Structure 1
Amino acid sequence: MVEIHELHSDQEIIQAFPVIKQLRAQHNETSYLEIVKEAKEKDMYRLFALFDRGEIVAVTGFKPMITLYYGRFVWVCDLVTAKDMRSEGFGEQLLSFVQEWARENEYESVALSSGLQRDEAHRFYEEKMGYSRASYVFKKTM
């Protein structure tokens, strides 16, 4: 049975770490927990997990935003399915959940960025989920 739940407690957030680490390898458990808690407190970040038979198999983190470019939208910060569970439809279910959350909360769109090297993810977003490429994202480390 598949269920999607928001993760609130430190224990719940840490439970998702083995999956999220597959996308965000730069974090250890401590830095991951700290940044998730700060983002939840200061930036309206929401963390959800998709459970299959009681086990976390996919995780998404997103935040509702308002900008002049996108208007009212939901930014997907993180979306990952456990490596051994990919191509089972879990990513589609979780991203569809985010889209429904956006609709129910009166946001106009859902946006995300994806690393240039992630060709399979790009095919998933464009071909399976109907997303279009809207821009390049630029970053400068300080």
Structure 2
Amino acid sequence: MSIIRELSTEMDWLEAYPVMKQLRTHLSQERFLELTREATNSEGYKLAALYEEGEIVAVTGFMPMITLYNGKFIWVCDLVTDSNARSKGYGEKLLNYVETWAKNNGFDIISLSSGLQRLDAHRFYEDKMDYMKKSYVYLKEL
């Protein structure tokens, strides 16, 4: 039986790091902890994990935001399932968890971005989870 819980301590975050590292390959453990600590304290970032038989098999990070485009909404920053546990519905369960959290906390929009190369993820978001493709996200490194 799977269990989802919010990860609120650095020990929890360390436990989630091996799965998150599969999505955020550029992050060292130290940098992951540093960014998670800062985002949690200053931006309201939440990290949640899905456990199967006591082991983390999927992780999501999300946070409340306000923009003129969306108003008050939740931004899904991260969503990853362990490569050995994919196609078992864990991503769907975590996104449903985020949706429930959003509704319970007065949010009615959830938004996310997905890398251009992640075609399987795009099909998942659009076909299975009913997300609409609304824009492109652009990035300029300075």
- TM-score, reference length from structure 2: 0.98
Residues 1:98 and 2:131 are matched in the alignment: no
Structure 1 residue runs without a partner (length 5+): none
Q: Percent identity?
A: 52
User: Contact 1:43–1:63 (CA<8 Å) still a contact in 2?
Assistant: yes
Q: Which residue does 2:114 correspond to in 1? A: 114
1:134 and 1:70 map into 2 onto residues whose CA distance is 11
Structure 2 residue runs without a partner (length 5+): none
Deviations along 1:48-106, one digit per CA (max 9) or x if unpaired, are 00101110000000001111101111000000000110000000000011011111111
Q: Which residue does 1:33 correspond to in 2? A: 33
Q: Which residue does 2:49 correspond to in 1? A: 49
Secondary structure of 1:21's aligned partner: helix
Residue identity matched to 1:32 = F
Stretches (4+) displaced over 4 A: none
After TM superposition, give the deviation of residue 108 of structure 1 in Å: 1.5
User: Contact 1:71–1:108 (CA<8 Å) still a contact in 2?
Assistant: no
Secondary structure of 1:56's aligned partner: strand
Residue identity matched to 2:32 = Y
After TM superposition, give the deviation of residue 10 of structure 1 in Å: 1.0
Q: Which residue does 2:135 correspond to in 1? A: 135
2:8 and 2:54 map into 1 onto residues whose CA distance is 17
2:139 and 2:44 map into 1 onto residues whose CA distance is 22
Q: Which residue does 1:69 correspond to in 2? A: 69
